[in-house]
Structure 1
Amino acid sequence: MSLSLHSPVLLCFFFTTFIVGQTFPEIGSTCSMKDRSDKGICTPIKKCQAVISDLKAGINPTVCYLYNGTGVVCCPTEPRTSVKKCMKFTEILTTSDGPVPLLPPKFLESEEMEKEVQCNAILNELIVGGRDAKLDEFPHMAALGFETKDDDLIWGCGGTLISEDFVLTAAHCIDSKL
């Protein structure tokens, strides 16, 4: 037989040998997160809450491999910094006996603070003109709506998503006129 007839057979043989010789990570083995320096563990996708949250936010996971039609993904071993900070702040707020000061004690005793408290702040509209934002132009921004006594909805403020659970907004958002 000529070599040209054996070429597809040889190619198939070498390809199969190459694939069989490859080692795929096992469930529980370490992996590296794409686009991050974080390490993770290969975990079935249904058992990795961080990846499920990312998928809901439109972030694709790092896939270790597919097993019986189920994705095995690189699940982070450490929560993201935003999650750690939220857990820390939640612990502080839920375990404190009284109000939690937002400023250090020395600042509250300063003369500058007294001056700021004594001045009369007048809330004025600061946005003049402007334009409507385009869809997805500011993905980390949120519009905050308030229900009126007449069951209407007023979009009175905006905010910034600072984690999966919290929106940071300005103090004037709680003005009584809303």
Structure 2
Amino acid sequence: MLLNCFKVCLLLFYIEYASHIILESFGQILELDEGDVCKRTLDNSQPHHICRHLKDCVAVHESLKKRNYPRICSFVGFEPIVCCPSYNKVTPTTSKITLTPSKSGTSQYAAKMCNEYKKLPFDFLSLGFHEVNKNQNKNLNEAYYKEFPHMALIGYGDSENSITWDCGGSLISNRWILSSAQCNKSGKSANFARWVLLGLINTDWIDDKDRQANLYEIEKRVLHKNYRPTSMYYDIALFRLNREVEFSENIRPICLNSDHLFNPTEVIATEWDQNVTVYSNNKKQTKILQKSMLSTISENECNAVYSTGVNKQYGIQISGDSQICTKYVEDTCVLDTGGPLQVKNPGGEFTTYTQIGIISFGKSCGYPGVPSVYTKVSAFISWIEENVWK
């Protein structure tokens, strides 16, 4: 009964709010998408306002009762996306989720494919050199050529000559890339993910030969049906390439962890760090593959940080069932959404790794002490298998 009353009241809010917008402020729609920043605060220590569904913004519900109408970002059908203060309290749609864990050994395809990937030939002596990261303020290490052959760059743009590389991912089969749902679109242009580059560790290396051999188009994008930009749960996506990948020493898939009880303490994050070279007339931006050695922390320890001070801007509770947290490391920031969190496979296979997480969100530069959060791969192993191998 209470739930039905809430729905009726919310519907009345929608009707009244939509009428107000049409009659008084239709020309002031911000034309922003869900999750975009709609108002920047003057004090950088305070979180900005974010575009959210009306039903997800408790602060706006209180304002509507007083006939104070917020700015509107856009509409999804008849539902307004409103400019919501980021001190917004956690609502049922952003509360902690609980998933049914995948038990060890229940994976039908991921484990089998991992054994096949481990058999791919590799000459240890052919391991290449690394690129020097010119940004000395980063606590990162340079990745060697062929060291992480599953790494993918995800690009946005209408043509091969206008690509911007804004996200990371990992090759998990001869046709699929695993990434973050946030990487489905990028930037204010709202371009969909369209390109994938494999086999390189430096975007300066891209020439006509590389484009022909290592550049792929994305022909299908699959986001988890429960993903919502207003919360960071279910932040997982799959991108299908337009042609099969030919495996080599510098391009080969990563294994996927299907054991929900596997909780390593030491892990490796790989990301595309950006270097900027200043020329006389312009600046050249180059993406270079880096690796970070990190330590995981518990769900409780992670939540203790995210529930205090300015970190409340995320408005969620970390879920150990579906997310992994790593300890804050000084002078590093999460720059490359979608990249893998991984561990090296036992047995001496130098270039085979098992992915346990997907870079989702974490501290932006200027918020010290905030852990990084990753989507937990084992929680979604059945969903991955159904889309990739069935």
TM-score class normalised by the smaller sequence: under 0.3
- TM-score scaled by length of structure 2: 0.13
> TM-score under structure 1 normalisation?
0.28
* Bigger helix share: 1
Q: Greater CA radius of gyration, 1 or 2?
A: 1
Higher strand share: 2
Looking at both structures, which has the greater relative contact order when contacts are Cα pairs under 8 Å and sequence separation is at least 6?
Answer: 2
